[in-house]
Amino acid sequence: MQDLAGKTAFVTGGASGIGLALGRAFAEAGVNVMLADIEEATLALAVEDLEASGANVRGIACDVADAASVDAAAQATFSAFGNVHVVCNNAGVAAGANLDDISLESWRWVLDVNVMGVVHGVRAFLPHMRAHGEGGHIVNTASMAGLQSGAGFSPYAASKYAVVSMSEGLAKQLAPLGLGVSVLCPSFVRTRIGDSGRNRQDRYGPPVKPAPGSDAARVSTWIADQLNNGIDPAGLAARTLEAIRTNELYVFTHPDWYWEVDERFAAIEAAMAKWASR
């Protein structure tokens, strides 16, 4: 989609972080923007801020883990702007704990938001995008954690591997329809994902904080430091718009992490070669 001006974009997790940066970048490109988020007060401030810059923007409360909520947000977007051309399934959460202490509720929460949130977004908007025939693009936010196992046995890493896989498959299926797909795979970005428990829905129970002095607590502190020193979300948003215009599948922002991906691929190739030589 070379020309974005006058088109419409829907962005989940749009009240802050990467989502808000995407919304701002779209607005600057002349795109109508619907920001969707579960955090309503912060969402209202984000919409107010973008409106002050002259953007044609709306906000809608949305729980991406709830299919009906995403369907309602999609209908609100159609009512406000008509045809939707770009869908950013960006909302994401993380839950940390020791290996033996990751609750089933935390697994369900992370997978429902990070994985099913993408499924719900595609399900709600894809039939509409196919029907209007004006072209379009789906952007799914994954992570470098979806390409390498540095995060270990965790719901976050598992969810991001799933998002990468779904995006790759979706791209192949949608290409003949003139619809593009991009999957964002950044490392640390200056966002509040480390505090995503603030929006944890009651049905998943309260967030479990790691015990002081535990390995999980030390990892949590390290992650918080990395996030505070991460790249500006605006840079990732700019790369995303470039990827939409040039129909790039993979969007990377941290080339210094290549070695971890290369190490994993090398191990896979070695294992395949070992089997092939038998």
| Cβ density class 245-257: b for 16+ within 10 Å, e for less | eebbbebbbbeeb
Query: At 208, which CATH number?
Result: 3.40.50.720
Q: What is the pLDDT of residues 196-234, one digit of tens each?
A: 999 999 999 998 777 788 777 787 888 889 899 899 999
User: How many domains does the chain fold into?
Assistant: 1
In the predicted structure, residue 13 carries a pLDDT above the cut 80? yes
Residue 2 lies in a domain: no
In the predicted structure, residue 275 carries a pLDDT above the cut 80? yes
Out of 156, 204, 250, 258, pick the active-site residue: 156
Alpha helix (H) residue ranges in the chain: 17-28, 40-52, 67-81, 104-111, 117-132, 155-174, 215-228, 233-246, 258-276
- The Cα-based distances of 177 to 131, 138, 204 in angstroms read 10, 13, 38
pLDDT-based confidence at 255, cuts 50/70/90?
confident
pLDDT-based confidence at 169, cuts 50/70/90?
very high
pLDDT value for 277: 84
CA–CA distance, 167 with 184 (Å, rounded to integer)? 10
Q: What is the pLDDT of residues 77-93, one digit of tens each?
A: 999 999 999 999 999 99
pLDDT value for 200: 96
User: Is residue 204 flagged as an active site residue?
Assistant: no
Question: 3-state class of 14 per DSSP?
Answer: coil
What is the arithmetic mean of pLDDT over 157-162?
Answer: 96
In the predicted structure, residue 59 carries a pLDDT above the cut 90? yes
In the predicted structure, residue 151 carries a pLDDT above the cut 80? no
Residue whose tokens read 């607005």: 27
DSSP per position, 117-149 = HHHHHHHHHHHHHHHH-S-EEEEEE--GGGTS-
CA–CA distance, 36 with 40 (Å, rounded to integer)? 9
pLDDT value for 166: 98
User: Which pair of tokens denotes residue 55?
Assistant: 């953007």
- Domain with 62 in it: 8-276
CA–CA distance, 276 with 224 (Å, rounded to integer)? 43
Residue 1 lies in a domain: no
pLDDT-based confidence at 28, cuts 50/70/90?
very high
How far, rounded to the nearest angstrom, does the alpha carbon of residue 203 sit from its chain's CA centroid? 22
Cβ–Cβ under 8 Å, residues 188 and 144: no
DSSP 193: G
pLDDT-based confidence at 149, cuts 50/70/90?
confident
pTM: 0.95
What is the arithmetic mean of pLDDT over 123-140?
Answer: 97
What is the arithmetic mean of pLDDT over 244-263?
Answer: 90
Taking the alpha carbons at both ends of the chain, their separation in whole angstroms is 48
What is the arithmetic mean of pLDDT over 161-189?
Answer: 97
Residue 3 lies in a domain: no
Residue 185 lies in a domain: yes
pLDDT value for 211: 77
Residue 246 lies in a domain: yes
CA–CA distance, 60 with 115 (Å, rounded to integer)? 20
Residue 18 lies in a domain: yes
Q: What is the mean pLDDT of the chain?
A: 94
**186 in the Ramachandran plot: left (φ > 0), alpha (ψ -120 to 50) or beta?**
beta
What is the arithmetic mean of pLDDT over 144-167?
Answer: 92
In the predicted structure, residue 67 carries a pLDDT above the cut 80? yes
pLDDT value for 62: 98
Residue 218 lies in a domain: yes
152 φ/ψ angles, rounded to the nearest 5 degrees: 70, -155
Residue 226 lies in a domain: yes
Question: 3-state class of 93 per DSSP?
Answer: coil
- Computed on alpha carbons and rounded to an integer, the radius of gyration of the chain in Å comes to 19
